[in-house]
Amino acid sequence: MSEMSDVVDRLVRYCSVASQSDPLSADKVPSTACQFDMANVIADDLRKLGAENVSVTESAYVTAHWPASAGCEALPTLGFCCHIDTAWQSYGDPVHPQVLRYEGGRLVIGSGRDGKEVALDPKTNPCLDRMVGWDLVTSDGTSLLGGDDKAGDAMVVSLLSRLKADPSLPHPRLAVSFVPDEEIGHGAALLDLDEFGAAFGYTIDGGPLGEFCYETFNAAEAKVRAKGLSVHTGTAKGIMINASEAIMRFHALVPPQERPEYTEGHDGFYYLERVEGNCEEALADYIIRDHDQDKVEARKELMRQAVAFVNQAFGQEVLTIEIRDQYHNLADVVALPEHRHLIDNARAAYAKIGQEMTCIPMRGGTDGSQLSFRGFACANLSACYYNAHGVREFVPVPELEAMVDMLQELVALYAVPQPAVG
């Protein structure tokens, strides 16, 4: 391939820094010390570019500001938010990113940790058919790449590099943030919005170029715990209470057709994330997702009733359940008339680079799902990663570079006062 562009170089460099989050240590922020390594790399890049107010907090939040171009100083600050952690569901340390030319057919990217060949295949990724002749950033097959969300990180920093190189490019004051633990549901929860100083903006944590999201799931988590009674199996009759058996009875009452593998679009689901146990103690962790909050509440109630049914069958309280809301559908904020510019300007910026915008109902959440309800309204833009959370993750170079062009066009659209809401 030819010499790497600024954003490709940053992506490769950022992906080389291991920064997985860990749900089993989610009681601290960040959940893993390695996220500080990623935070410091980005902070150093921001300082070298001359960003203002660069900060790394004790929780590994990176924030900075970029001054407005001449004549735009009085306009509202526009914010961008990305995350620095990578997914915990696959191998993520060490990461060996590489740039490969795709010439069609199967592309072998390397061997997995089991020694078996790892390849990208148009049979499972039909999008590859339009990428013949493109350079792709991949791992070597032994880990995920981490393009989710280091592609977003690289795009934002490369945008600032452009603005430094050409001060004539119009833009308002920018606030940028890079947050930890998004992959385990924490994300931007501790972002100081007063110090951040932006009332609206965008997260950059979506899929293919042109993808845009202002609608997400509502989300809750449910923790089901079982307490049993262990006795010798030879004398167990009428005495033993098997905690693992109680969890299995509960799970059988959760509608099987409403699991992620059987749903799509606006369908909601129940997902069993983790289960473990023995006779005396067992646990099952679930997540609940739906675009309609009323349906989320109905799902919660079904799980409570399932717990009650199992307890009644045992004749005592064997199961307990704790349910906690995680985030809400950001459409409830972004679709309001006063924030419609977030959608309209994104569509216009995509059009300026020759890309049609495609709005999707995200079957997940973003940092914007919580930020929007905290007063920072933000929709979600493409980060151009594919096959996230697995060893076949990749980022097409032309899409990565095009998104920096899109961001340049987007900030220019905010270099003028936004239309008043009528």
Q: Which of 45, 85, 148, 149 is the catalytic position? A: 85
73 assigned to active site? no
Peptide bond before residue 419 is cis, with ω within 30 degrees of 0: no
CA distance linking residue 295 with residue 64, whole number of Å: 39
DSSP-derived secondary structure letter, 34: H
CA–CA distance from 4 to each of 64, 100, 105, 212, 347 (Å)?
26, 12, 24, 27, 28
Locus of tokens 């989050």 = 21
Q: Which of 148, 149, 182, 183 is the catalytic position? A: 182
409 assigned to active site? no
CA–CA distance from 85 to each of 3, 30, 152, 165, 401 (Å)?
28, 9, 12, 29, 22
First CA to last CA across the chain, in angstroms?
51
Q: Please, what's the b/e burial string for 244-259 (b: 16 or more CB within 10 A of its CB; e: otherwise)?
A: bbbbbbbbeebeeebe
**Phi, then psi, of 367 in degrees rounded to 5:** -55, -30
Residue of 204, 167, 178 whose CA lies nearest to 406: 204
- The amino acid that residue 27 corresponds to is D
Locus of tokens 């799931």 = 217
What kind and span of H or E run contains 95?
Answer: none
* Exposure on the CB side of residue 160, measured as CA atoms within 13 A: 27
- Integer-rounded Cα radius of gyration of the chain: 23
Kindly list the catalytic residues: 85, 182
